[in-house]
Structure 1
Amino acid sequence: MASEAVVTLTEANFEAEISSSTVPVIVDFWAEWCGPCRMLGPILDDLAKEQAGKVKIGKVNVDEAPNLSAQFSVRSIPMLVFFKGGKAVESVVGVQSKDALTKRLAALA
């Protein structure tokens, strides 16, 4: 469900994608069957395109990456985890507006 502007993250590539990023990263923990996750997808796609080079957006399918879900204590989805310098600095559960996400990114920059 990721677009060309959004990176599909797996247990195999997660660490490398996060630790190598020179820009803040938003990781969306989601599932195919989750209605709110499907609502958030286009918002993240737009943000990834508009903020290209300023932010990296990745998606983790919780059904395909249970270890990552456990590592970040994902109990409800969609859950967004914000990373800066390879470290998780904030998380938020539920659908977020593009404005709210843009403000959170500005605070991380």
Structure 2
Amino acid sequence: MAHRLLLRRIWTLSAKEIGCLPASFPAISSSSSFSTSLHPSSASASFLFPSHNLPRTSRRQVSFNVQDNEDFTERVINSQLPVLIDFHAQWCGPCKILGPRLEKAVAKQKGRVAMAKVDIDDHTDLAIEYGVSAVPTVIAMKGGDIIDQFSGIREDDELDSFVSKIMGK
């Protein structure tokens, strides 16, 4: 158990902290219950965590959770891209089905459209402001203006055409 906790702590170290570790970082004992594919004697901090070799790529996320009104304004209203806003709730069964389908349709656009997820229980004020009376509700915005919306669950092909339609507006 102690080995797992130690590994978890090491794994969460920042690149700066990793650079401070000695090159001969103590290896995990082969008698531990934690299995590893690394040979214990060859394990070192530089081998396990090659911070200098990590790629520095910026990967755009398909969707993001809205944190607060300020975040909503910054990432949705002021976005240069069209944004689909998925108003959902944790307790909503259809929301759990629609969410992944919607993310898949947005991912097909390869960064030309963003998706914001708004939990109506956490952000009731946004749900009221945008007239959300049922979940799931999806609102498409471009340049801060609502360009289309729907409520309820949709099939994959309907979602693809919805996303394509807002791309053209």
What TM-score do the two structures reach when normalised by structure 2?
0.58
Structure with larger Rg: 2
Give 1:44 shift: 1.7
Residue among 68, 73, 87 paired with 2:131: 73
CA distance in 1, matches of 2:120, 2:112: 26
Tell me the secondary structure at the aligned position of residue 70 of structure 2: coil
Tell me the secondary structure at the aligned position of residue 70 of structure 1: helix
Residue among 23, 26, 45 paired with 2:84: 26
Q: State yes or no: 1:8 paired with 2:40.
A: no
Residue among 33, 45, 48 paired with 2:106: 48
What TM-score do the two structures reach when normalised by structure 1?
0.87
Large movers: runs of 4+ above 3 Å: none
- State the identity as a percent: 29
Give 1:94 shift: 0.3
**Residue equivalent to 1:102:** 160
Residue among 147, 150, 157 paired with 1:89: 147
Choose 31-40 or 17-26, whichever is displaced more: 17-26
Give 1:29 shift: 0.3
Structure 1 residue runs of 5 or longer lacking an equivalent are none
Answer whether contact 2:106 2:163 (CA < 8 A) is retained: no
CA distance in 1, matches of 2:143, 2:125: 22
Q: State yes or no: 1:63 paired with 2:121.
A: yes
Structure of greater relative contact order (alpha carbons < 8 Å, 6+ residues apart): 1
- Flag the structure with higher helix content: 2
Q: What CA deviation, in whole Å up to 9, does each residue of 1:9-56 have, x standing for no partner? A: 132311111133222111000000000000111102212322221110
CA distance in 1, matches of 2:78, 2:156: 25
State the aligned residue count: 106
